[in-house]
Structure 1
Amino acid sequence: MIEIDALDASGRFAAYLAEPEGAPRGAIIVHQEIFGVNPGIRAKCDYWASLGYLSIAPDMFWRFAPGYDVDPDQPEQMAEAFEVRKKFNPNKGVEDLEATIRVAREKSGGGKVGVVGYCLGGRMAYLSATRTDAAACVGYYGAGIDGLLEEAHAIANPLMLHFAEKDHFIPAETVAKIRAVLDPNQHVTIHEYAGVDHGFATTSGSRRDETAAQAADARTEAFFAAHIG
């Protein structure tokens, strides 16, 4: 774990750091779901490090629930997480991502930095594409992107979005709305996965769909290899 200074000087927040064995080919920031920097998110960082990237997962709930870490397969913890995430301020979240990007760039020797996020993190990956200088961003089943499409004109670097066909949080008409705005943008690529629900690419647990997760993750790996290094 490392600590990162908040840009607004309000404090420092923890972040999980995974480093590759050799010189980093770049850096990838992993944005948590609403369940915190839990074992699944840390495992994703470790995987990116195994591919040669420096990887950081910042504690995005540090302002109101520092160290939050719950299991979505536990119904009571799932319900609690939906209440906790109501305190999250996405504008402050973007600031914290920007602070993390700066640290990741420094620690990777000035390399390019990408952002990947899941659920809440999928929306924040989209905002990273519209509000930060991240070299490439990937969002998995990002809820709420449809309410932020007025920012789409600011996307200047590659963005990939993954959506589930049977997502009970993001219905097909919402994905269609997002496509109508983003498909014409040459920087944006959108993939949909038939027959799966929200959370299909989680590291483990009941929500994971192995076939869809492997397909989406392969696309993400190729995307970052092309745009980060």
Structure 2
Amino acid sequence: MTSSTITIHSPDGEFTAYRAAPKSGKGPAIVVLQEIFGVNKVMRDICDDLADQGYVAICPDLFWRIEPNVDITDKSQAEWDKAFDLFGKFNIETGLKDIAETVDLARRDKDGTGKVGAIGYCLGGLLAYLTACRTDVEAAVGYYGVNIPKYLQESENIHGHLMLHVAGKDQFVDAAAQKVMHDGLDDNPHVTLHDYPAQDHAFARTGGDHFDPEAADLANTRTRAFLQAHIG
């Protein structure tokens, strides 16, 4: 695995992304969509793991318009306060523009195959859903995405494949919101929802307060099979 920081040029300006590529040569590309803590070690480790699986993983700095190069953890109250402040200032629409630029770059990556997927967590889980709705990615995976019910009407635009991992005890996505998601998406042939009834938000974040190794392994195993089936 090799990694580097790359620059993405967009009509609104330049922003950076962490890129990890497989040693084996070419592979499908995956755009990794951050949590509210920026492109931190958790996100970089996810990219590195995807590269070890044979993918070109690219994680764009989606907070660059607010504050470039955010890299914080979930280990202190001050960092949580900053993360929620950034989340409050984040503009979904401009973020999706940056994701679309990243998807386009990933599709043209010198080590890519032309196929592109997306995977996101928390805020990135919502963005993965919207990436499936608004871009031409072949596959997208969202872990415990927030605020998805607000955008359910867009699901009719999904032409690729989408998988959502839903935490049953998610403190940010209550049971009513989860029901709305199921009611709106269960009959969509492009979408698969997996429920983890006993889990709280961020159950797959290694080292997090709600990390559950068994549930995380199950979700990650499902994700690997899903990506393999749809982008190779």
Instruction: Please indicate, yes or no, whether the TM-score normalized by the shorter chain is above 0.5.
Output: yes
State how 1:27-106 maps to structure 2 within 5 Å. Answer: 27-106=29-108
User: Within 1, Cα distance between the matches of 2:96 and 2:206?
Assistant: 24
Alignment partner of 2:200 out of 174, 197, 200: 197
Q: Structure 2: give runs of 5+ residues left out of the alignment.
A: none
Residue 155 of structure 2 is matched in structure 1 by 152
8 Å CA contact 2:63–2:90 kept in 1: the answer is: yes
8 Å CA contact 1:41–1:203 kept in 2: the answer is: no
Q: Report the Cα offset of residue 113 of structure 1.
A: 0.4
Q: Which moved more, 1:40-49 or 1:205-214?
A: 205-214
Residue 13 of structure 1 is matched in structure 2 by 15
**C-alpha distance after superposition, 1:36-65 (max 9, x if no partner):** 000000000000000000000000000011
Aligned-residue Cα RMSD (Å) equals 1.0
AA partner of residue 203 (structure 2): F
Q: Report the Cα offset of residue 110 of structure 1.
A: 4.2
Alignment partner of 2:173 out of 151, 170, 174: 170
How many correspondences in the alignment? 227
User: Within 1, Cα distance between the matches of 2:200 and 2:44?
Assistant: 22
The change in CA–CA distance for 1:109 and 1:198 in structure 2 (over 3 A counts) is closer
Q: Report the Cα offset of residue 73 of structure 1.
A: 2.2
Q: Which moved more, 1:81-90 or 1:215-224?
A: 81-90
Alignment partner of 1:124 out of 121, 124, 127: 127
TM-score (norm 2): 0.95
TM-score (norm 1): 0.96
Q: Structure 1: give runs of 5+ residues left out of the alignment.
A: none
User: Within 2, Cα distance between the matches of 1:178 and 1:19?
Assistant: 34
8 Å CA contact 1:25–1:228 kept in 2: the answer is: no
AA partner of residue 100 (structure 1): T
Identity of aligned residues (%): 46
Q: Report the Cα offset of residue 185 of structure 1.
A: 0.4
